[in-house]
Each structure stands twice: as structure tokens, then as C-alpha cells.
Amino acid sequence: MAVKCNACFKYMSVKEGVVCPRCKEANHRACVNIPNDAQIHSSWLCPKCKAALPTNNENSTPLRGAGITYVLDDSLAESSATQPASMELCSSAGTAPPSIIAPEYREPEPDLSTELRQFCAEMRQTREEFRAFRQEMLEMRALVSSCDARLTKLEARVVELEQRATGGSEVGHGDVICMLEATVAQLQQDLDDRDQEMLQNDIEISGVPEESGENVTHLVAACAAKLGMTVDDREIVSCMRVGGVRADSGGVPRPRNIAVRLARRTARDQFLRAARVRRTLTTEGMGLRSEPRRVYVNERLTKRNRSLFGRARMLASGLNWRFVWTRDGRIFTRRDQGDPVNRIRSEKDLDSVFGSAQVRPAPAAAGRNIPVAAV
């Protein structure tokens, strides 16, 4: 707390002043001529208390009059010592002759306007400190509220995890399983799409009888020649029989398919277009020892897409859907001319497309089911 100096009546801090042990009044060090780094003796007294000490009839003791303090002149110190006692009494009464006394420093009166200005400055500083303190309290309150909200969310998550761990939330386990199954299905679909993109330059020829010592490249060139196009050996990157040995319904082994990878995408598209135009391609005239058989040329599909395509053809045939085809590795189906086109990408698509469809009766004129067309 700020106190006033007893000498200059200005505010000061406790560190800036000294306290008299007798009157308990504080004074600036500068007002009582004490250096800032000087040690204060225990017998030190302020000027007022020192002036109030008994005089003991000593010439060096200050004399105090009515409102003015007088001291003896140094030049008259010896003569004053020989003066009678009446002179000393007169001096102590404040009626000493002016020829032998000199006035001392008179304490100034305190200035009220200065004190008010200092008090206003201190009040403004205190107000600023309170405003800063209030702002800090508001920020701390907002921080505590944020921490409380985060702790509430964390507690809710811990409770949910505990319920799942103890088996108390079967719905939660079901949701997690469904999410994992959907993720696995999406990853499988992405992998299959990537594998299908790697087969963009491939075609697959089926129905060509398999003989010992055959030249597969010559068989591919013969098929191309019967389709009305010429395939140079440099266009064929690879050509081989693929798949395992299978048997038809009568137990007769079925020839394996021929997988052909061409160097250019345009050559592959030209091969497929020619095969769509000439749908009656057979092995007649290809130099084979077996009887002529029907030959089919299609784009090569991955194992998963081949299985989906086979199931789509089977379901479409049973439900009298007319069109099931592939294009650039994608499987499409359509019930009739003008109906919307459906894309088959998974087993769920087969269920959604054919699951709600009803078996359409065969036309009376034809007398049998309309075969499914692979476009």
C-alpha cells in the first residue's frame, strides 16, 4: 500500500522510504539526506523527533519558535554562551533578537491538486489492472468450458467402447461387421477392375478343337483370315491355351480356350467387330482333323467377371431376357429392345436386376425360349 512522505507529502512505496522508530512516520531517503544504499542505524530518528529531544542548554540545539525554527549564528556562538539566563528564556519563548538568530527551512504546505492528480493516476492504473484481470478470468472460463466438453465426449466414447467390449451392444457389432464387409467387397471390386484393365488388349477364342502338335498362332491367324482380316505375327504378343480340361454333359472333353494378347488396342477392337459381323464362324478350312465346329470370339474377362457373365446369361435365359453382353470388360443386360440397360458388377447386382423379375412365357409363334444374345 502506498504511503505519504512526512516531509514532502508525496506518495511513495515502502521500499523508497525509511520509518522513524519513534513516531512511526515514513520519509523519503532523499528528504532526510540518506543515500539509497546506506544502512540505517537503530538509533536514527527523523528530524522532527530529533528536534523534540531535550536541549540540555547546548548551543547546537535548534530553537523552535511559533511556526519558525531558529538556530544560533556560528559567529555569535561564543557570545551567546556568556549571555544571562534571561536571554535563554527569552529565546526559548520565541522573542529572541533577530541579530543573534537565523531562520531555518520551513516545511512546505501540501498541494491538494497534485495529490488529486496522483490519486487519479493510481485509480486509472488500478482500473486497467482490474480490466486485464477480468479478461484473463473470461479466457480461463472459456478454456475450462472447452475442456469440460472434451471430457464429456471422451467419457461417452469410453462408455460406448466398454459396452461393445462386454457385448452389451449387439447393434454396434453388427454395424462394424457390415462396414467391414462393405470395405472388403469394395477392395475386391477395385482389384478386379484393375485386373480387367490389364486385359484391354486381349481376346479369347473358344470352340477350336485341341490337337497334339498344334500351332496356336497359326490357328489365330486362320480365324482372322476367315473373319476377313489379316493379323501379322508382329501384332500377336502372346498366344496360348488357358484354363483346365473340362467335359460337356456327355463326358466328351471340351477344348481349352485360346487367349490372345495383341500389340494394339485397335487390332483387338477390329477383331471383335469382325466376329460380331460373322457370327457363323467355324473351323472348316482351318486344316484340323476333327469335324467342323462353331468358333466364338469374345473379349477376355477376369475369372470373377467370367463367372458373373455366365450367371447373368443363365438367369436371363430363364427369365426370357433377350440381351446380355460385355463391352470393355463391363457386363450389361437388358430385357428387351427399348428397356433400360443394367450393369452387373457383383452378386448384389444380379439379385437386384433379376431377383424381382418374373419369368416371361415363351412366344407362341416361336414355340421355345428366345436365346440370349451376347452383343
> Do residues 274 and 268 lie in contact, with contact meaning Cβ atoms separated by under 8 Å?
no
Own/partner long-range contacts of 359-362 (Cβ < 8 Å, ≥24 apart): 359/318, 359/319, 359/320, 360/319, 360/320, 361/320, 362/320
Name the residue with cell 478350312: 285
Number of other residues whose CB lies within 10 A of the CB of residue 258:
25
CATH of domain 200-300: 3.30.70.1820
> Do residues 10 and 4 lie in contact, with contact meaning Cβ atoms separated by under 8 Å?
yes
What value, to the nearest 5°, has the Cα angle with vertex 8 and ends 115 and 28?
115
Sequence-ordered list of residues with C-beta below 8 angstroms from that of 82, at least 6 positions apart, any chain = none
Q: Does 200-300 match 1-53 at the fold level? A: no
> Do residues 300 and 319 lie in contact, with contact meaning Cβ atoms separated by under 8 Å?
no
**pLDDT tens by residue, 205-246:** 998 988 888 899 999 998 988 888 888 888 899 999 988 777
**pLDDT tens by residue, 69-109:** 444 444 434 444 444 444 343 344 444 444 444 445 555 66
CATH of domain 1-53: 3.30.40.10
- For the chain, the structural domain boundaries read 1-53, 169-198, 200-300, 301-375
- With both helix axes pointing from N to C terminus, report the angle between 170-197 and 112-165 in degrees, rounded to the nearest 10: 80
Would you state the pLDDT for residue 59? 55
**Predicted TM-score of the model (pTM):** 0.47
Torsion of CA 6, 10, 16, 22, to 10 degrees: 10
